[in-house]
Structure 1
Amino acid sequence: MNWLLVVLGAMVGAPLRYLTDRAVQSRHDSVFPWGTFAVNVTGCLILGLLTGAVAAGAAGSHLQLLLGTGLCGALTTYSTFSYETLRLTETGARLYGVANVAASVVAGLGAAFAGVALAQAVWT
């Protein structure tokens, strides 16, 4: 049963990632990978909220598998982040590459912490 929850979450997360990435990137005339940045930070926020909800007893392990492992696992992408950063540096856009790494780490961690704090405020 657990694997089915992961599969169902991933079935939503993967297309959502692709569609969100394309929609965000099409609105920016820049080599910076805004689409990947947006899905990764959003995934961190969702996972932070979910983690806070589980810690507060407001969500259980099944929801954690469905949304955390399945949805967020398919929505976020470390491999694409790494590839896009590598491509930026290889094509001479080193400043964008460094900005991508710094902004992704800071915003991702910030979103996760904000999600946990929001969950604690709501459910504690």
Structure 2
Amino acid sequence: MRNIFYIFIGGGLGSVLRFLVSNHTQKLWNINSFPMGTFVVNIIGCFLIGIFSSYFLKADNYLKFLLITGFCGGFTTFSTFSAENISLWESGNYFILAGYILLSIVAGFGAVYLGLNLSRN
């Protein structure tokens, strides 16, 4: 039951931070129809989950529930990523759609890899 509490707290904090970072980023970098706010949040989340996984995934303590499952789960957002892709598709922004998907996957993979390797050294 205690682990559920840690997930709840981490998820709430991650969700609020996602909202703040995404909105602020979208205002700073409004590039055509590209959903920069969600992109930045998801790449930061990938980097953080790489770092957190390196430290806490093997340990049996509350921090993996608080930071990995809770915070990163609340901070990153695959559902918004998917909805934005549908919107880009429906509006005919196929070039931006393809770029968003490709950049998200490549940069996300790279950010997890970087996070894992930086925290191991």
Is TM > 0.5 for Structure 1 vs Structure 2? yes
Residue number in structure 2 paired with 1:5: 6
- Give the alignment of 1:12-91 within 5 angstroms: 12-29=13-30, 30-54=32-56, 60-91=60-91
Structure 2 unpaired stretches of 5+ = none
Residue number in structure 1 paired with 2:119: 119
1:20 offset after TM fit, Å?
A: 0.7
Aligned partners of 1:11 and 1:79: how far apart in 2?
17
Question: Under a length normalisation based on structure 1, what TM-score does the superposition of the two structures give?
Answer: 0.91
Q: 4+ runs of 1 displaced by more than 6 Å? A: none
For residues 43-79 of structure 1, the C-alpha deviation after alignment (integer angstroms, 9 at most, x for no partner) is: 1101000111136x7x653111001000000000001
Aligned length: 119
The 3-state SS of whatever aligns with 2:29 is coil
1:5 offset after TM fit, Å?
A: 0.2
1:92 offset after TM fit, Å?
A: 1.1
Question: Under a length normalisation based on structure 2, what TM-score does the superposition of the two structures give?
Answer: 0.93
Q: How many percent identity over aligned positions?
A: 36
For 1:75, give the aligned amino acid: F
The 3-state SS of whatever aligns with 1:20 is helix
Residue number in structure 1 paired with 2:100: 100
For 2:103, give the aligned amino acid: A
Q: CA RMSD in A?
A: 1.3
1:104 offset after TM fit, Å?
A: 0.3
